[in-house]
Amino acid sequence: MYLLLFSILPVFVLAVASLAPTPPQMIVLNGAVEANQEHCAHDEKIGNFTMCVVQCAKVDSCQFCFMDNGCWLCQEGVVSTDTEELRIGMKNVIKSNSRSCPSGSWHFNSNNNSLGSQTSPVSSDDTTTTKTVPTTTTTPKKYCPNQSSWTMFRNKWCIVTPFYNDSGFTHSVGLRECLRQPSSQRMYMSGLEYREMLIHLRVFARRQFKTFHNVSFAMWIDGYQSKPCTVNCFPGSFTFTDPHLQNYTSYEWYSKGNKVEFGGVGTCLQLMFPSNTSDARFGKVSYAECNVPQDKEFMRRAVVCGTLAV
């Protein structure tokens, strides 16, 4: 276990609770997270990573934390170290009941289904069982069409994000791009079924910025306004191509003055990624003209394609 932890770069140890030499309470590393929203508490008031880690250390049931438009404190999920997508604060796994880890990942499971917040912390009397579990569970493990390029969520949903290096494309081209992805199942332009999908796409965007020199872009996501509407338009006034979508709560709309602007009948949906990641539009949904590959601010260079895992 120690060899695994200290072979990961960059990684360092942050002691946040006391000056005792061992063991450190929190470990900070770079990696990726898969966590269900219901197993995490979100605090938008925490504005930096250090305070997020400190808060996780204070909350007994918090097993790991990360920043995404505020601090996320999670008690269940998977932390993997095969990428450098996010900075993650993680409770020292030496406290776990099991000291064996799958290669490059930690699986956290808890019997407690609620987390304390900054204003209402979990009592120190509360007990949480945290253990590292193997990747096989009572639910048969499913697979995505191509394990190297697809990402699976909740052992159910697979997405891939084709990206055009040198040009934008229209919504109809995005639909065709999804259909041509190699798979034994029908492919669709897909949407944001789970919160962790949105987090994944925000991380994807940051990685593209490193490759393409911080050029703003947008990606097409499922949704077409098919009915006139002025208030409470989403999702009732929209048509979706992916028949498997059930949960639309992870569509985070960009609002101006607490008002969401809809484009009207015949407009499509995009996820915006301005190169300034502090921009309020970063990773937020807005409308876009379906047949316009780029406007003065965003070139539509990517599309979210999805299918069910099998």
3 state SS of 5: helix
Last residue of a domain, one of 89, 108, 127: 108
Please indicate, yes or no, if residue 136 is contained in any of the structural domains: no
Confirm whether 186 is domain-assigned: yes
Question: Does residue 85 surpass a pLDDT of 60?
Answer: yes
Whether 140 is covered by a domain: the verdict is: no
* 176, pLDDT greater than 90: yes
Average confidence (pLDDT) over 77-88: 72
Which helix (H) or strand (E) is 299 found in, with range?
strand 299-303
pLDDT at 209: 83
Query: Read out DSSP for 92-112?
Result: -GGGSS-----TTEEEE--S-
Split at pLDDT 50, 70, 90, the class of 93 is low
Please report which helix (H) or strand (E) contains residue 87, including its range: strand 86-91
Contact 98, 132 (CB under 8 A): yes
Question: Is the four-CA dihedral 46, 47, 51, 56 of positive or negative sign?
Answer: positive
Could you tell me if residue 198 is inside a domain? Answer: yes
Q: Phi and psi dihedrals of 38, rounded to 5?
A: -70, -15
Question: Are 62 and 174 in a shared domain?
Answer: no
Q: Domain of 205: which CATH number?
A: 3.10.100.10
pLDDT of residue 174: 94
- Give the pLDDT of residue 220: 97
235-267 pLDDT per residue, tens: 999 999 999 898 888 899 998 776 788 888 999
pTM, to two decimals: 0.63
With a CB cutoff of 8 Å and minimum separation 6, the contacts of 296 are none
User: Rounded to whole angstroms, how far apart are CA atoms 193 and 200?
Assistant: 12
- pLDDT value, residue 114: 33
Q: Do 158 and 9 share a structural domain?
A: no
pLDDT band at 149 (very low <50, low <70, confident <90, very high): confident
Of residues 153 and 135, more confidence is placed in 153
Q: What is the pLDDT of residues 98-134, one digit of tens each?
A: 333 333 455 565 543 333 333 233 222 332 333 333 4
Least confident of 47-56, 75-84, 86-95: 75-84
**Domain identity same for 187 and 288:** yes
Domain that holds residue 189: 151-308
Rg (CA), the chain: 20
Whether residues 168 and 87 share a domain: the answer is: no
Confidence grade of residue 89 (pLDDT, cut at 50, 70, 90):
very high
Residue 21 lies in a domain: yes
User: Given the structure tokens 């919504």, which residue do they identify?
Assistant: 171
Position 158 in a domain: yes
User: Quick one: what percent of the chain has pLDDT higher than 90?
Assistant: 32
In 3D, which of 225, 152, 160 has the Cα closest to residue 188?
Answer: 160
SS3 8: coil
What value does the mean pLDDT take over residues 9-34? Answer: 59
**What band does 190 get if pLDDT is binned at 50, 70 and 90?**
very high
68 and 213 assigned to the same domain: no
User: How many domains would you assign to the chain?
Assistant: 2
